[in-house]
Amino acid sequence: MANHKSSLKRIRSNDKKRLRNRYYSKTMRNAVRNFRAITVKDEAATKLSGLISLIDKLAKRSVIHKNKASNLKSKLMRKVNAL
């Protein structure tokens, strides 16, 4: 158990951040999964911009790594172009 006031606060804040990051990560994974299930090019093209902005926000907040965000966006764009 922590002995200092500041370490107790750090434990609380880390837990809040962890839960928030898990929520954002899960939301992104669900959005990507739903996007990959789309088979109509027009629909995929319209949803792509929203998904890319979501991925960029997570990379900016360091929830996911910037290279992972870049790889995800690249793969999603290739999927839209292949439809």
Query: How many domains, the chain?
Result: 1
Contacts of 47 (CB under 8 A, 6+ apart): 35, 38
Arithmetic mean of pLDDT, 60-69: 95
How far is Cα 53 from Cα 45, in angstroms, rounded to an integer?
13
List the CATH number of the domain containing 75.
Answer: 1.20.58.110
pLDDT of residue 83: 87
- What residues make up the domain containing 44? 7-82
- The answer as to whether 38 is a domain residue is yes
Domain membership of residue 55 (yes or no) is: yes
Q: Residues 25-55: pLDDT tens digits?
A: 999 999 999 999 999 999 999 999 999 999 9
* pTM metric for this prediction: 0.82
Mean pLDDT, rounded, for 62-82:
95
pLDDT at 2 over 90: no
CA distance 39 to 62: 31
- Whole-number Å distance between alpha carbons of 54 and 80: 17
User: Tokens at residue 47, please?
Assistant: 């949803």
